[in-house]
Amino acid sequence: MLSDTNRFNAYRIMWVLVFFDLPTETKKERRAASQFRKKLIDDGFTMFQFSIYLRHCPSRENAKVHTKRVKSILPKYGKVCILEITDKQFGNMELFHGVKPIEVPQPVQQLELF
């Protein structure tokens, strides 16, 4: 039996990431891409970026279950990549949110009246 410290070990907890590039030129292709995204969400995945979804899994065994589910819903066309990483590896990710530079307004000269 696992102790509490091993149950939540950063090397035991997993993340499943799904990367995809699906065609969306025709109405049928857009529908297939939307259905794929919806099925990922229904299985507990969260959108990380438009074509990257991720899911937290408490164990390797659970990650395998969700990987198998993704494989069962693969669309007919396009590219899909499934990556399983540990919580420790996920924690080493560096995220950068770009901020559009804003021009700093020049202070307005104010007249003082005495």
Q: What is the pLDDT of residues 25-48, one digit of tens each?
A: 999 999 999 999 999 999 999 999
State the pLDDT at residue 1: 46
**Contact present, 30 and 69 (Cβ < 8 Å):** no
Q: What pLDDT sits at residue 98?
A: 76
Indicate if the pLDDT at residue 110 is higher than 90.
Answer: no
Ordered domains of the chain (ranges, CATH): 14-90 (3.30.70.240)
Q: What is the pTM of this model?
A: 0.78
Q: Which of 70, 74, 69 is nearest to 32 (CA)?
A: 74
Question: What pLDDT shows up at residue 50?
Answer: 93
14-21: strand order across its sheet: 46-49, 52-57, 14-21, 79-86
Please enumerate, by residue number, every residue annotated as part of a binding site for Mg(2+).
Answer: 21
Is residue 9 over pLDDT 80?
no
Indicate the annotated binding residues.
21
Task: Give the model confidence (pLDDT) of 53-88 as tens digits.
Answer: 999 999 999 999 999 999 999 999 999 999 999 999
Q: What number is the average pLDDT over the span 15-25?
A: 97
For 79, phi then psi, to 5°, come to: -115, 135
